[in-house]
């Protein structure tokens, strides 16, 4: 069975500091994508970053980067220079074939 | 460019009733996916529609059904509502069916079953 695990229900970070959110997944597939989505209190889910499984290079989008360890099935999100607007629920997600799996989320608080 | 919209925003039903939720996909998108998000949980994949055909389905019973129309808008129908169906229902559209295609989410419909 394919599952996505986020072991940190809540995290906090001081404004301008760096925080890392953890995600592990379980799969027997070789071809898949991994995503981090952000869901602010207004509820609309927004894509933060995505990673193709066949690419060894870690994806980066401005202040957001991932540490993709395929053998360990780990996909963590690093947020640098945290801003107040980064406060939200963050979901790790996995896509293979015609199936999508999301983790249970990490609630990130940014402290001014 | 119009984003993904969903209607209604909130809905209250009683156990045993039927409900229809609607989703308009982003302009140019031919693929729509539906998710159920219970309070405090991550979204659970219900099914996906591509060009009016169901393309994939999660672990949901047959009383969850859907439709996609020629304009690629979509409906989610739930029959014989149960208390556990209370959740936020999210619709997401994507440009195509390709693996890894970015999904654009709507604001969701909050369903409460009493």
For residue B42, give how far its alpha carbon lies from the nearest alpha carbon of chain A (Å): 4
Chain A contacts of B40, Cβ < 8 Å?
Answer: 104
Instruction: Please report the pLDDT score of residue A89 as a whole number.
Output: 97
Confidence of residue B1 (pLDDT cuts 50, 70, 90): low
Question: Comparing A9-18, A25-34, B64-73, which segment has the lowest mean pLDDT?
Answer: A25-34
Region for residue B9 given its phi and psi (left: phi exceeds 0; alpha: psi -120 to 50; beta: otherwise): alpha
Q: Is A66 exposed, middle or buried (0-12, 13-18, 19+ CB in 10 A)?
A: buried
Q: DSSP character for B101?
A: P
Q: Tell me whether A30 touches chain B (CB under 8 Å).
A: no
How confident is the prediction for chain B on average, in pLDDT?
A: 94
Q: Tell me whether A47 touches chain B (CB under 8 Å).
A: yes
Instruction: Please report the pLDDT score of residue A2 as a whole number.
Output: 63
Per residue in B3-42, pLDDT (tens digit) is 999 999 999 999 999 999 999 999 889 999 999 999 989 9
Q: Tell me whether A33 touches chain B (CB under 8 Å).
A: yes
Which residue from A minimizes the CA distance to B57? Answer: A99
Per residue in A59-68, pLDDT (tens digit) is 999 999 999 9
Q: Can you name the residues that pair with B19 across neighbouring β-strands?
A: B78
Q: Is B55 exposed, middle or buried (0-12, 13-18, 19+ CB in 10 A)?
A: middle
**Backbone phi, psi, residue B84, to 5°:** -70, -5
Chain B contacts of A88, Cβ < 8 Å?
Answer: none
* pLDDT for residue B47 is more than 80: yes
What gap in Å lies between CA A18 and CA A98, rounded to an integer? 34
Handedness of CA B25, B106, A102, B38 (dihedral sign): negative
Average the pLDDT over A26-41 and give the result. 92
Three-state secondary structure of A78-103: EECCCCHHHCEEEEEEEEECCEEEEC
The shortest CB-CB distance from B102 to any of A47, A52, A105 is to A47
Q: Tell me whether B62 touches chain A (CB under 8 Å).
A: no
Q: Tell me whether A44 touches chain B (CB under 8 Å).
A: yes
Chain A contacts of B48, Cβ < 8 Å?
Answer: 98, 100
What gap in Å lies between CA B39 and CA B64, rounded to an integer? 19
- Quick one: what percent of chain B has pLDDT higher than 90? 88
* pLDDT for residue A98 is more than 90: no
């Amino acid at each position: 069975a394919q599952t996505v695990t986020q072991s940190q229900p809540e995290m906090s970070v001081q404004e301008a500091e760096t925080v890392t959110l953890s995600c592990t997944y379980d799969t027997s597939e070789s071809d898949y994508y991994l995503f981090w989505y952000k869901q602010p209190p207004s509820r609309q889910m927004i894509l933060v970053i995505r990673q193709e499984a066949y690419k060894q290079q870690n994806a980066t989008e401005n202040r957001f980067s991932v540490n993709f360890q395929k053998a360990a099935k780990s996909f963590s999100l690093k947020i640098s220079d945290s801003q107040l607007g980064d406060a939200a629920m963050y979901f790790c997600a996995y896509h293979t074939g015609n199936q999508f799996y999301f983790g249970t989320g990490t609630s990130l608080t940014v402290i001014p | 460019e119009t984003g993904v919209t969903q209607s209604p925003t909130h809905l209250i039903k009683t156990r045993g009733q039927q409900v229809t939720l609607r989703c308009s996909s982003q302009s140019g998108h031919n693929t729509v996916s539906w998710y159920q998000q219970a309070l405090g949980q991550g979204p659970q994949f219900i099914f996906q529609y591509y060009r009016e055909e169901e393309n994939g389905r999660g672990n949901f019973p047959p009383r969850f059904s859907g439709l996609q129309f020629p304009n690629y808008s979509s409906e989610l129908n739930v029959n014989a509502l149960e208390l556990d169906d209370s959740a936020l229902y999210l619709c997401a559209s994507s440009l195509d069916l390709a693996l890894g295609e970015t999904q654009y989410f709507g604001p969701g419909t909050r369903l409460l079953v009493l």
